[in-house]
Amino acid sequence: MNAFLDEIQLAYVATGKPHKRLILRGVIVIDGTGGPPFGPADIVIEMDTITRIVQYGTSPWQNQSPVRLVPGPEDAVLDLDGCYILPGLVDAHAHIGGPAQVPSAEYVHKLWLGHGVTTVRELGSIYNGLDFTLEQARLSNRYEIAAPDIVPYVYFGWGADHWISDPDEARAWVRTVAAHGAKGIKLFGLAPNVMKATLEEAQAHNLQTACHHAQQYVSGANALDTARWGLKSVEHWYGIPEAMFTDRRVQDYPSDYNYVNEADRFAAAGRLWEAAAPPGSARWNDTIDEFVSLGTALVPTFNVYIGARDAARVRTSEWHPRYTARELKAFFSPNSGEHGSFFENWGTEEEVSWRRSYSLWMSFIRDFYDRGGLLGAGSDSGFIYKVYGFGLIEELELLREAGVSALEVIGIATLGGAKIAGIDTVTGSIEVGKRADLLIVQENPLKNLKVLYGHGHSAEEADGGRSAVGGVTLTMKAGAVFNARDMLSDVRDIVAEQSANGAIFETVHDH
Ligand SMILES: [Zn+2]
């Protein structure tokens, strides 16, 4: 069956605003709960809420109806026969990016909407500060900008005029940001007593917590220590191998290592998993079981380190020439002082050690998930040649590579992320009463996750030509309908304007 999307109707309803009553007709539903696809179904959305899901069939005991829903004269309607509908994606580790990285927040928001991303956990307001993130969140809530729903986190220490190293001061800071409107705190590691105080106070004020366990602090508290103290999510993977060291307590650093040098940091990081207890060992299993029983979530962000195992792939990604802005290109270019820009002199030895790391890391994530662990799909785009939206779809593919089925990957990238952000009663799945955060795609993403990439899935033809299918066609955020392709064409315009006097990314790199 070929999916049918009525472009004229789409143009009519894609106003960026919610509709009084909108009916999506004939869709195949992947609801994000892990249940199998079903359809055709009609979904009724009133303003920002899913109010009815009618599946067709003859089994009323299975919530099926033999008669199709008849739209009223006032209803907006979209005929979508055979199209797939999914909950909007939740980017569980996202940064809007500051002026040194991106031309504007609009560029980032539209890349997200163009990929069906309807919620982002803005992990720290690092480059623009909390007030900026809160303002973007407000504008998005009021439908004044085209953007996903933004869950604002703030980095530890924001707004303080000195480094906070006293537990009571840390508690006072937590209370301040809670009152200011932050929904979570992003940590990079702290002295154990300050970390404990911060996590405790955050819990008392219902703030989420996420930590990138920086090497400078991991000897005092690894990921399992902070999980025991109440940390909600472990970002990336740092601090996990250290929880499984059996013949040392601190990483074996080269004698000339300097943490501030990003090339040093990444080269040494590539050897961490191999230094830890192996898969299937008692220590490996106990560590996983304890994370699961503590309810600690993991957000691996596999995609953002992919350049470490294959630098050429990320430097020459297909989407760079049309979608990657000049600021990002400059930010990505090798400069060991810039966060994550470590590629000068990155060679075979470094890539091979990272490939071995990935295999161990993916086994860990797969075992954690199989035993009931909570996972999120996070992109961390804006670093290491990773572009907003595209990076998240790559993350889905890498979760699949870790051994999780495509159906479960979609659950991780939707309901999983919503749970981690503490908003799973509001969004994350297609269920009556939930917020209408959805994406529609004409191909089946369970067969091929690549159809979610903004530039589509490109197939090479016998005559050497290429044809693209897919790409998200419609993104709905809190009932507001966006034509995903229009979002991406706006992004292409921004990049084309920047490239008027010379390409930002050449399609082929050469001597
Ligand atoms: Zn990050």
Domains in the chain, CATH or no CATH each: 7-86+432-501 (2.30.40.10), 88-420 (3.20.20.140)
Residue 368 CA to residue 41 CA, distance in Å, equals 34
pLDDT mean over 114-139:
97
CA 94 to ligand 1 center in whole angstroms: 6
CA 153 to ligand 1 center in whole angstroms: 11
The pLDDT of residue 511 is above 60: no
> Please, is 377 exposed, middle or buried when counting C-beta atoms within 10 Å of its C-beta (0-12, 13-18, 19+)?
buried
* Residue 165 tokens, joined: 């190293």
What confidence score (pLDDT) does residue 21 get?
98
CA 212 to ligand 1 center in whole angstroms: 8
* Residue 432 tokens, joined: 């009556």
Say if residues 439 and 118 touch (Cβ distance below 8 Å). yes
CA 214 to ligand 1 center in whole angstroms: 12
Say if residues 184 and 198 touch (Cβ distance below 8 Å). no
Q: What DSSP character marks residue 382? A: T
Rounded to 10 deg, the angle between the 282-294 and 348-370 helix axes is 60
Say if residues 90 and 318 touch (Cβ distance below 8 Å). no
For 348-401, give the DSSP string: HHHHHHHHHHHHHHHHHHHHHHHTT--B-----TTSTT--TTHHHHHHHHHHHH
CA 47 to ligand 1 center in whole angstroms: 33
Q: Comparing 467 with 10, which gets the higher pLDDT?
A: 10
Identify residue 207 by its one-letter amino acid code: L
Tokens 């706006």 -> residue: 490
CA 126 to ligand 1 center in whole angstroms: 9
Task: Compute the Cα dihedral for 414, 415, 420, 421 and give only its sign.
Answer: positive
Residue 278 CA to residue 416 CA, distance in Å, equals 27
Residue 61 CA to residue 485 CA, distance in Å, equals 39
CA 66 to ligand 1 center in whole angstroms: 48
pLDDT tens digits along 173-196: 999 999 999 999 999 999 999 999
What confidence score (pLDDT) does residue 62 get?
84
Residue 83 CA to residue 169 CA, distance in Å, equals 53
Omega before 40 cis (within 30°)? yes
CA 464 to ligand 1 center in whole angstroms: 39
CA 93 to ligand 1 center in whole angstroms: 6
**How many Cα atoms within 13 Å fall on the side-chain side of residue 473?**
24
pLDDT tens digits along 287-309: 999 999 999 999 999 999 999 99
Say if residues 55 and 379 touch (Cβ distance below 8 Å). no
Helix (H) or strand (E) holding 287: helix 282-294
pLDDT mean over 22-40:
96
Residue 92 CA to residue 26 CA, distance in Å, equals 30
Residue 220 CA to residue 239 CA, distance in Å, equals 10
Centre a 10 Å sphere on the Cβ of residue 388 and count the other Cβ atoms it contains: 32
Q: Comparing 429 with 64, which gets the higher pLDDT?
A: 429
- The residue count of the chain comes to 511
Identify the three-state secondary structure at position 303: helix
Q: pLDDT band for position 335 (50/70/90)?
A: low
What confidence score (pLDDT) does residue 336 get?
57
CA 326 to ligand 1 center in whole angstroms: 20
CA 506 to ligand 1 center in whole angstroms: 27
What confidence score (pLDDT) does residue 469 get?
85
pLDDT tens digits along 414-427: 999 999 999 999 99
Q: Give backbone dihedrals phi and psi of 307, rounded to 5 degrees, phi first.
A: -60, -25
CA 129 to ligand 1 center in whole angstroms: 14
Q: pLDDT band for position 265 (50/70/90)?
A: confident
What confidence score (pLDDT) does residue 460 get?
73
Q: pLDDT band for position 510 (50/70/90)?
A: very low
CA 442 to ligand 1 center in whole angstroms: 31
Say if residues 304 and 377 touch (Cβ distance below 8 Å). no
From 10-19, 75-84, 131-140, 261-270, the region with the lowest mean pLDDT: 261-270
pLDDT tens digits along 48-92: 999 999 999 888 888 888 888 899 999 999 999 999 999 999 999
Q: pLDDT band for position 24 (50/70/90)?
A: very high
From 21-30, 80-89, 114-123, 251-260, the region with the lowest mean pLDDT: 251-260
Residue 218 CA to residue 189 CA, distance in Å, equals 7
Residue 212 CA to residue 123 CA, distance in Å, equals 10
Q: pLDDT band for position 503 (50/70/90)?
A: confident
